[in-house]
């Protein structure tokens, strides 16, 4: 382990969806470096053709001395989600953190460009996924009387002038409101629900979208999001919940940079 880590997540069990590459992989690695046991999940094979698998991410974590288990899961499939959470509990006995990161980015396309099947796929991954995954971990978190759910939001979900377009922006706006409502619902169980808006990232997914070239140089590596995700992971409803936070403001308007 590198020295800068302080084992802030020692003993915690975290599920990170969409951790085959990009932001999910970076968060999974950061959690593991902070002492968490990490369940790294993604689909068995990616229809995107982009690089990275959950098995590879888990291996990278174990090679660095961390603890990780790779599980196949399409977050839009209830059976697969229930199986993923069941296997996590069988293996580690608890779930402290869920990061709903898996997502599809259809950026800047017009309504007429977006075919109905692409619409359905995006809504299924970006909105139904967080619903199914949150639903699957709740019984365990309620029993534990603690937990942290982190939903990955977006500036596109709050500001139509960012140019994300009708599909991606709508799904992320829905994720924001889903999170606010769920945070209210879960306060009495001491479960935190927050939205982390990471800002523009240089991920494999972003690189595949021509639209991102407009601000590519302003984008940051996904590893920059790690510390703010760790901060949210170690919260419960008594400390920090129901917030939409920007990664770029971490340590300034919210959280501690230590």
The residues that touch ligand NAP, with contacts defined as CB under 6 A, are: 17-24, 42-43, 46, 48, 73-76, 101-105, 125, 152, 154, 198, 200-201, 203-206
* Structural tokens at position 78: 């209830």
Contact 88, 81 (CB under 8 A): no
Q: Based on CB atoms, which residue is closest to ligand NAP, 145 or 214? A: 214
- State the nearest-atom distance from the C-beta of 3 to ligand NAP, in Å: 27
Q: How far is the CB of 103 from ligand NAP (least distance, A)?
A: 2
**CB contact at 8 A, 3 and 205:** no
CB-wise, 141 or 225, nearer to ligand NAP? 225
Please, which residues have CB within 8 angstroms of residue 134's CB and are 6 or more apart in sequence?
98, 100, 149, 182, 193
Question: Which residue(s) pair with 191 in the sheet?
Answer: 147
For residues 78 and 142, which CB has a smaller minimum distance to ligand NAP in the complex?
78
- In angstroms, give the least distance from the CB of 59 to ligand NAP: 15
Q: Which of 92, 131, 168, 231 is catalytic?
A: 168
User: Least CB distance from residue 160 to ligand NAP, whole Å?
Assistant: 15
- In 3D space, the residue among 230, 44, 89 whose CA is nearest the CA of residue 148 turns out to be 230
Tokens encoding 120: 């359905």
Residue 114 CB neighbours (<10 A): 16
**Judged by CB, which is closer to ligand NAP: 142, or 180?**
180
168 is catalytic: yes
Beta bridge partners of 67: 37
Cα separation, 181 vs 18, in Å, equals 23
- Which active-site residues does the annotation give? 168
């Amino acid at each position: 382990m590198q020295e800068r880590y302080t084992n802030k997540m020692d003993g915690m069990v975290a599920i990170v969806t969409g951790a085959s590459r990009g932001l999910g992989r970076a968060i999974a690695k950061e959690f593991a470096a902070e002492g968490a046991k990490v369940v790294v999940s993604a689909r068995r094979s990616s229809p995107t053709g982009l690089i990275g698998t959950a098995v590879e991410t888990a291996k990278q974590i174990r090679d660095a001395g961390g603890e990780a288990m790779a599980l196949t899961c399409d977050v839009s499939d209830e059976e697969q989600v229930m199986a993923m959470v069941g296997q996590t509990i069988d293996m580690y006995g608890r779930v402290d953190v869920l990061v709903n990161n898996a997502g599809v980015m259809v950026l800047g396309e017009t309504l007429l460009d977006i075919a109905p099947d692409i619409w359905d796929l995006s809504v299924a991954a970006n909105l139904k996924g967080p619903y199914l995954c949150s639903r699957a971990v709740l019984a365990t978190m309620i029993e534990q009387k603690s937990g942290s759910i982190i939903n990955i939001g977006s500036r596109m979900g709050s500001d139509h002038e960012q140019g994300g377009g009708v599909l991606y922006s709508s799904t992320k706006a829905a994720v924001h409101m889903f999170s606010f409502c769920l945070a209210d619902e879960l306060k009495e169980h001491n479960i935190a629900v927050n939205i982390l808006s990471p800002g523009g990232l240089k991920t494999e997914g972003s690189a595949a979208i021509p639209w991102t070239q407009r601000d590519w140089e302003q984008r940051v590596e996904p590893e920059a999001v790690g510390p703010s995700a760790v901060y949210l992971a170690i919260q419960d409803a008594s400390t920090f919940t129901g917030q939409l936070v920007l990664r770029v403001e971490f340590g300034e308007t919210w959280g501690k940079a230590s």
